[in-house]
Amino acid sequence: MAEVLLGAILEEAVSKANSIATNQISRIWNFKKELTRLGDSLEMMEAFLQDAEEMQTKKDAVKLWLQRLKDVAHEAADVIDEFDYEILRRKLKIRRQIRRKLVDFLSSNNSILFRLKMANKIKDILETLDGLNKDASAFGLQQRATEHVSPVPRRSNVETFSVMDDSTIVGRENDVSKVVDLLVNPKDEQVVSVVPIVGMAGLGKTALAKLVYDDLRVKRHFDVKSWVCVSDHFDVKKILGAMFEQLT
């Protein structure tokens, strides 16, 4: 089960890294090459995965190799999610400050600090992946055609609804409280709060959003609420139109 989860993490990370690499902001930040290389390196590790799973029972070193791969896969997924969130945040901020020049905004001090931080993170991950690749060759691991076991379909075009089903969701109380607190107690009263819930498919992001949406504290704090599905194609006009349609 752990190996299947690792394969899913690698597959999701490869897909998102390649997608973000083609984003306009990523190209302006000159991260396209690094993100593409990161996706390729993760895909290479994914090809070693099946052979490593079978060999780990015979070689403790391969078992440790798999654990190192799992650790760096989680690091890569976190970095990619951070990229995804930062791009979304900046898109929203650019729209609020549309009178400013795009190049000037993306070249601000905050942007430079972010780029330096992410460049160092990606560099460290790539170095680790290069080391794992060399170790894989030393262990005699063979690359095989990637077998995606029970792949999780992308849900970007699937309509979701705010109504919870009859099943009881337990163990999410702390997560709900944290998200609700971010919404009802924003640090900057002048800025519209955007609270992203990120993670690989199947972790229950939509369920958590529903719990927050129906939370009593949220109902008391906001005069109106609306539930709108956003696809991979981020269109502000369509999103606002859907919100107004619900409210009216």
| Same domain (yes/no): 27, 97 | yes
- 75 falls within a domain: yes
Q: Mean pLDDT over residues 159-182, rounded? A: 66
Buried b (16+ CB within 10 A) or exposed e, 29-61: bebeebbbebbebbbbbbbbbbbbbebbeeeee
Query: How sure is the predictor about 115, in pLDDT bands with cuts at 50, 70 and 90?
Result: confident
| Between 101 and 79, residue with greater pLDDT | 79
The residue from 114, 139, 164 where one domain ends is: 139
Query: How sure is the predictor about 126, in pLDDT bands with cuts at 50, 70 and 90?
Result: very high
The position carrying tokens 């440790």 is 64
| Same domain (yes/no): 94, 6 | yes
- 165 falls within a domain: no
The position carrying tokens 């690359």 is 143
- 146 falls within a domain: no
| Same domain (yes/no): 214, 131 | no
| Same domain (yes/no): 131, 187 | no
Q: What is the pLDDT of residue 152?
A: 44
- 163 falls within a domain: no
Q: In whole angstroms, how far apart are CA 195 and each of 109, 179, 232?
A: 23, 7, 17
| Same domain (yes/no): 209, 128 | no
- 104 falls within a domain: yes
Parent domain of 100: 1-139
DSSP H helical ranges for the chain? 2-21, 24-28, 32-55, 60-96, 102-106, 109-139, 173-184, 205-213, 216-221, 236-247
Alpha-carbon dihedral 124, 126, 127, 129, rounded to 10 degrees: 120
- 213 falls within a domain: yes
Domain tally, the chain: 2
pLDDT digits (tens, 9 = 90+) for 56-84: 878 888 889 999 998 999 899 888 888 88
By mean pLDDT, which of 59-68, 150-159, 189-198, 229-238 is the weakest?
A: 150-159
Q: What is the pLDDT of residue 167?
A: 45
| Same domain (yes/no): 18, 107 | yes
| Same domain (yes/no): 100, 13 | yes
Q: Which two tokens stand for residue 49?
A: 């995965």
The residue from 89, 115, 139 where one domain ends is: 139
| Same domain (yes/no): 85, 207 | no
